[in-house]
Amino acid sequence: MIRIRLLTIIDCLSTYSSKELPLTLQEIKTLISQEYDLDLTDKMIRNELEFLQSTTSTYKVESRNSAANYREKAYFLENTSFQIHELRYLMDAVSSARFISQLETKQLIYKLRGLTDEITSKRLANELIHSEGKIVIKHFADNVQSLHEAIKANKCIKFQYGRYNVKKEFILSREGSFYEVIPLGVVWYQEYYYLVAKEWGKEKIIQYRIDRMSSVINTEGIWAPDPGFDLERYVSQLFNMYSGERRNIAIEFDNHLINVIIDRFGINAKIDPISDNRFLLQTEGIVSDGLVRWLLTWGADAKAVGPADLVERMKKEITRYSGLYT
């Protein structure tokens, strides 16, 4: 009975109290009677509250003078799991993730709000509005987990891969044949999960959208981690997750893009003024269609200087682009 009393008071404080709205002893007593169908005396509740405020208790119950009666104490259970802003971050991340279906989004947000008291939960009622639609992907969560487990166990995997055509039909690449790869890491980039991997027997590293993968299966193959490969560094050099050759690149930008470049390459990026209104960025990056298209987003405010093959790719793409409007 003593354990039931203690657990009931803990649950009552966890559900109905907060730092902003603590509960008096009489309020606790009323709630326990109404919501838990348990009749406790003032002494029983007071004894449990004294224990919960002692150093012996693993729960941190605080008290202060009641706003209604300064002679009366009011109690609340300090939330040691999540602060309200932390829950808000998690809720917003779930809401914005396109690969989490609308139904699963609602279920996850409901569970997240259940990790705090009712008062704080109500403050989290206003959900993030996402500008892009959700997509439903069969076995997506299972695939992500399978990939993480394969990477941890150094297991090779195989899977089928495909894309939609203009008729909105999902067509498997290679006529449905399996890709066999060494999985190096899972990356979340611009609302999508990607697998960074090497195809079996090849050295080139390729990124695969996980929502386009199906039938993910472990193989008998085992791979040894490359101590010289830094996944975080590699991903930082990609542009829109396109694969390519790692090169030293140099790009001129108009000064008004300085914050964009610092956001992308970091405060320690090698940036040098070259005129009153232009600066030069020198960095290591993956030369690819992704880099070309990323540079084109800035129009004439960005100019590739080197390497020479990047400059040529830019010229060809600009010629092709301008030809659409002749």
Q: Exposed, middle or buried by CB within 10 Å (0-12, 13-18, 19+), for 199?
A: middle
Helices (H), the chain: 2-16, 25-36, 42-52, 84-96, 102-113, 118-123, 140-152, 231-236, 258-265, 289-296, 308-323
23-24 β-sheet, strand order: 23-24, 73-77, 61-65
Per-residue CA distances from 198 to 67, 218, 229, 316 (Å): 64, 15, 12, 29
Q: Exposed, middle or buried by CB within 10 Å (0-12, 13-18, 19+), for 28?
A: buried
Per-residue CA distances from 296 to 211, 281, 300 (Å): 27, 16, 8
The whole-number pLDDT of residue 191 equals 76
Kindly report the backbone phi and psi dihedral angles of residue 171, in degrees, each rounded to the nearest multiple of 5, phi listed first: -110, 125
The whole-number pLDDT of residue 257 equals 95
Looking at the DSSP bridge assignments, the partners of residue 74 are 24, 64
For residues 231 and 220, the answer to whether their CB atoms sit within 8 Å is no
In the numeric block, the tokens 């000064």 are attached to 255
Per-residue CA distances from 316 to 161, 266, 302 (Å): 30, 30, 16
Give the class (CATH, top level) of 140-228.
mainly beta
The whole-number pLDDT of residue 301 equals 95
Q: Please report, in tens digits, the pLDDT of each residue of the chain (326 residues total).
A: 557 888 888 888 888 888 778 899 999 999 999 988 888 999 999 988 888 888 888 778 888 888 777 788 899 887 656 777 888 888 888 887 777 878 888 888 888 887 777 777 777 877 666 656 666 677 888 888 999 999 999 999 999 999 989 898 889 999 999 999 999 999 988 778 899 999 888 888 999 999 899 899 999 889 988 888 899 889 888 888 888 889 999 999 999 999 999 998 989 999 999 999 999 999 999 999 999 999 999 999 999 999 999 999 999 999 998 888 87
Q: Report pLDDT digits (tens) over 102-116.
A: 888 888 888 888 777
For residues 32 and 84, the answer to whether their CB atoms sit within 8 Å is no
> Is the domain covering 237-323 a CATH 3.30.70 domain?
yes
Closest CA to 286 of 199, 207, 192: 207
Specify the CATH architecture of the domain 2-77. Orthogonal Bundle (1.10)
Question: Which one-letter amino acid corresponds to residue 107?
Answer: Q
> % helix / strand / coil in the chain, to the nearest 5?
40, 25, 30
* Angle at CA of residue 102, ends 97 and 107, nearest 5°: 95
The whole-number pLDDT of residue 293 equals 92
In the numeric block, the tokens 């992500």 are attached to 144
Domain residue spans of the chain: 2-77, 84-123, 140-228, 237-323
Question: Which one-letter amino acid corresponds to residue 20?
Answer: E
The whole-number pLDDT of residue 11 equals 84
